[in-house]
Amino acid sequence: MWKTILRRVLIMIPELIVLSILVFLLAKAMPGDPFSGSINPKTSPAQLHRLMAANGLFDPWYVQYWHWVVNLFHGKLGMSYEYQMPVINLIKQRGLNTLWLATFTMILTYAIGLPLGIFAGKHEGKWQDTIIRVFNYITMSVPFFVVLVIGIWIFGYALGWFPTSGSISPNANGMGETILSRLGHIILPGLLGALFGTVNIVQYLRSQVIDAKHSAFVKTAVAKGVPEKDIYRHHIFRNSLLPIAAFAGYSITGLLAGSIFTEMIFSYPGMGQLFLNAVNYRDYTVITTLVLLYGFLNLMGTLISDIVLSIVDPRIRVE
Amino acid sequence: MKKRHRLAMLGSAALLTLTLAACSNGSNNSSVKTPKLPQTYSASAKASPKANDGTLKIGEVSDSPFTGISSPTLASVATDADVFAPGGQGNLFATDNNYKIVNGGMANLKLDKKANTATITLRKNAKWSNGTPVTAKDIEYAYEVIANPDTKSQQYSGDFENIKGMKDYHEGKSDTISGITYPDGEKGKTAVIHFDHLTPAMQYAGNSFIWGSVEPYEYLKDVKIADLVSSDKIRKDPIFTGAYKLDKVVEGESTSWSPNKYYWGKKAKIKHVDIRVVSTSNVTAALKAKKYDFLQGGASAADRPEISKLKDYQIVGKPAFAYSYFGFNLGHMDPKTGKQVTDKNKKMSNKNLRKAMMYAIDLDQVAKKFGNGVSWRANTLLPPVFKDLYNAKTPGFKYNMKKANKLLDDAGYKKKGKWRAQPNGKPLVINFAVSSSSATANATHKYELQQWRKLGLNVKYTSGKPMEFNSFDSAIQKPDQKNIDVWNGAWSLSSEPTPTQLYGQNAPYNMGHFVSKENTKLLNNMNNSKAWNHKYRAKQFKDWQAYMNKETAYAPDSFSLSWEPVNKRVKGYSVKPADGDNSFSNLQLTQENTK
């Protein structure tokens, strides 16, 4: 087991290097630069030139890449051109917001998805199953941004139950108020995200439960007279969780990715928007850092998924 | 609310509101009428002391979090200026409604034409929100922050080099700006700026010679200028000189304020002010739910019809500082001298061709269809917000297909098959560049292409489709652009609109490379020694606008309104430039909840 993990971690190093070069090249290949779009026309070309040169933007790509890597190992991720602050602070700030919202959404998604999937599988073909499947089709077919706009309109503006913008009230002071205000701000987007994000879990789990129900070992157990509860708990549920467990690793690392729709509609400053804006405004330092971070998290996600899988399913373990 | 307006190139978002803009006054006469909006609103009910103890709720319309740079010398986006507006932005001068600097602000300005000096005298009671006095050094420090060789500020302009010693300081050859002195010492109230020469533009706020705000030297002196922009003293705990002091900033999303007891002017009456970012998709719903008392920085044209229907909101506004235009590529920039050069044999060199293209587009109809009453056909390259300088009489380009055809026929652009050929018989393909933005803007550009094709001109999009906006920006700024013959762009001006930086021979942003003796003369006249006479100066501006239309090197496209909905519980709201400093302290509320 440890050997597997170690080997996987070692493989990640060249993968990350290749990724970082690719990201760097692609970012630089985009047309435009961080300055020419927003510059004050009263600024002389010399001043523009000075700002570009001071930021090393005239150097060949490999020189810029080298500087970036050296800085990276010194823990310096550079300054964001757009926000004029260290990228690390920017990511901390937005990452925290995203982490709050995404964790909350993920917990809710599993809390809703797991029972629904099992319940649907258990009652295969009956009316309960039909209702859940219809719910599933609806959540799958309605575009998510429509859900968000309607959701914020009804529960945020018309009924006024939830805050409609930001991650925290500007008037929240003290630890308790801060936490409550933060929670208040993520309930609506979190709930909508969870309700409309359960499709995969429910569908997978449902079909796995149905498969398991018809498999030989369950039939044997039924024939032996094992109580239904125990059959579900020990035989069906554990086996059905395999694909969900495989998902879990990705979900955990996906927590930092952020959701552009949710963030835009709820004016919630998170990682999704940060990335989109960085691309739009050619904020190279932010783009490269984020892509590298996401790449790293993805690799970690695969690793975690494999580890989880090998815990859940001993057959997969590679020695 | 008064906002600092800088000469800035508008990104795609702004282009979007502008290009699809225009207004519904498509009457048959060729003149253009500026739609009128009230510039003030005051609820008729009495102000309620209880309501004033509550919170004034302001929305800042933006799809992305604000950057959070409180200082006007360091910030470069409008959202930052908006969310920190209650703090007064360190504003030095009061203005009249024509943006002319007048006495009565935090400081008075005196220009001495003989000595070539500008003397700035602060009020005795001018203080920062932490109680420390505003000093002469604070006036000078703003220049240091802008011009320091290590600065992150984007505000440095060549015009500042008119200040003695500024160039040396900017290039790191000296540690101080020798041309800024303090007769009563650093801690005194007077700063004198020594110029090589004075120019009439200096009388107006937003000019590029005299910076209009202060920076708190004592408070910031421990932070290196290079690190200021990311420091907590600028982002988390900044101090201000205006009616309100900052209580809290939630990065990227909100700011909250309470009255600044050290403010030199009229004391603020409302106890709390909150400004929160609201996304464009939610503006209308938020106003329907009465979430905001008003919107800082206005909403988009597309929301105007819905917002106009809201009974509890009054729309207040004035013409915007922005306009959109068509530019024609007439030459190149000499990279050695940095000067623009007009070439005689460019594809677009024929004036008739350019005029024909303009007469072929029905800008009034475009406005009627997409403008939502917020924008209208522009008739000159100077927006009507500058009442005295705007030339309302020049007709611009009113749709006239017959005239367009005749212009081309007269100039010898004869049809050869489907398309017209150049007078010398060579085929003519015109490349049109636009930045891709909203569906309506894209539809408008398609219409423009269609009209030009109706005229028999083979006009195509450069690279086949609207360009991604970064590509567009860098493409039109190339010194010698071979693939763009005409483009559609937009500018937002500062409150001092001398257009030399956009259309002069040395202007890097004269991207159509248009140079003529007459143009240079008129531009220079706007700020020559005679131009201290306002009538003379206004005449030069008007003559220049008429001349530019005659030459059609750049042609006006659309003007727009800058407008804001104000809830009817608000008293004392004004967008008049003269109300600038007290625009927040004049506000009161008539009831506890938004109407």
> What is the per-residue pLDDT across A203-220, written as a single tens digit (0 to 9) for each?
888 888 888 888 888 888
> Residue A305 in contact with residue A250, Cβ under 8 Å?
yes
CB contact under 8 Å between A165 and B474, yes or no, is: no
Structure tokens at A129: 């199953």
CB contact under 8 Å between B67 and A82, yes or no, is: yes
User: Taking all residues of chain A, what is their mean pLDDT, rounded to a whole number?
Assistant: 83
Q: What is the pLDDT of residue A38?
A: 56
Task: Report the percentage of chain A scoring pLDDT > 70.
Answer: 94
CB contact under 8 Å between A32 and B473, yes or no, is: yes
- Sorted by sequence, the CB contacts under 8 Å of residue A87 that are 6+ apart come out as A77, A78, A79, A80, A285, A286, A289
CA distances from B408 to B325, B329, B351, B417, B473 (A): 21, 18, 10, 16, 30
pLDDT in tens, A288-300: 888 888 888 888 8
d(CA A32, CA A22): 18
d(CA B484, CA B473): 12
Chain B interface includes A176 (CB < 8 A)? no
CB contacts < 8 A (A, B): 159
CATH topology of domain A87-141+187-316: MetI-like fold (1.10.3720)
Structure tokens at B75: 């910030």
Of B248, B252, B291, the CB nearest to A269: B252
Where exactly are the structural domains of chain A? 87-141+187-316
| pLDDT band of A250, cuts 50, 70, 90 | confident
| Residues of chain B contacting A51 with CB distance shorter than 8 Å | 154
CB contact under 8 Å between A267 and B7, yes or no, is: no
Q: What is the pLDDT of residue B30?
A: 53
Of B156, B256, B285, the CB nearest to A170: B256
Nearest to B488 by CA among B512, B504, B470, B463: B512
CB contact under 8 Å between B250 and A158, yes or no, is: no
CB contact under 8 Å between A164 and B65, yes or no, is: no
Q: What is the pLDDT of residue B15?
A: 33
CB contact under 8 Å between A38 and B252, yes or no, is: no
pLDDT in tens, A77-119: 888 888 888 888 888 889 889 988 988 998 998 899 888 988 8
Q: What is the pLDDT of residue B39?
A: 92
> Residue B353 in contact with residue B455, Cβ under 8 Å?
no
CB contact under 8 Å between B276 and A168, yes or no, is: no
Q: What is the pLDDT of residue B9?
A: 41
3-state secondary structure at position B255: strand
Chain B interface includes A141 (CB < 8 A)? no
Chain B interface includes A79 (CB < 8 A)? yes
- Closest residue in A to B61 (Cα–Cα): A267
3-state secondary structure at position B334: strand
Q: What is the pLDDT of residue B104?
A: 93
| Residues of chain B contacting A35 with CB distance shorter than 8 Å | 154
- Sorted by sequence, the CB contacts under 8 Å of residue B456 that are 6+ apart come out as B405, B408, B413, B415, B418, B419, B420
Q: Are strands B55-61 and B294-296 parallel, antiparallel or unpaired?
A: parallel
CB contact under 8 Å between A267 and B285, yes or no, is: no
Q: What is the pLDDT of residue A284?
A: 83
Structure tokens at B556: 């006006």
CB contact under 8 Å between B76 and A40, yes or no, is: yes
Q: What is the pLDDT of residue B7?
A: 35
User: Phi then psi for B63, rounded to 5 degrees?
Assistant: -90, -5
CB contact under 8 Å between A264 and B281, yes or no, is: yes
> Residue B92 in contact with residue B106, Cβ under 8 Å?
yes
- The residue-averaged pLDDT of A275-279 equals 87
| pLDDT band of A40, cuts 50, 70, 90 | low
Of B7, B62, B230, the CB nearest to A85: B230
Chain B interface includes A186 (CB < 8 A)? no
Which pLDDT tens digits describe chain B residue by residue (595 residues)?
Answer: 333 333 334 433 333 333 333 333 333 445 678 888 899 999 999 999 999 999 999 999 988 889 899 999 998 788 899 999 999 999 999 999 999 999 999 999 999 999 999 999 999 999 999 999 999 999 999 999 999 988 888 788 888 999 999 999 998 999 999 999 999 999 999 999 999 999 999 999 989 899 999 999 999 999 999 899 989 999 999 999 999 999 999 988 999 999 999 999 999 999 999 999 998 888 998 999 899 999 987 788 888 889 999 999 999 999 999 999 999 999 999 888 888 999 998 999 999 999 999 999 999 999 888 888 888 999 999 999 999 999 999 999 999 999 999 999 999 999 888 999 999 989 999 999 998 877 888 899 999 999 999 999 999 999 888 988 778 888 888 888 889 999 999 888 889 999 988 999 988 889 999 999 999 999 999 999 999 999 999 999 999 999 999 999 999 999 999 999 999 999 999 999 999 888 999 999 999 888 7
Chain B interface includes A174 (CB < 8 A)? no
> Residue B526 in contact with residue B358, Cβ under 8 Å?
no
d(CA B194, CA B191): 10
Task: Report the percentage of chain A scoring pLDDT > 90.
Answer: 7
Of B7, B251, B288, the CB nearest to A42: B7
> Residue B557 in contact with residue B324, Cβ under 8 Å?
yes
ipTM of the prediction: 0.78
Whole-model pTM over 0.90: no
pLDDT higher at A54 or A142? A142
3-state secondary structure at position A212: helix
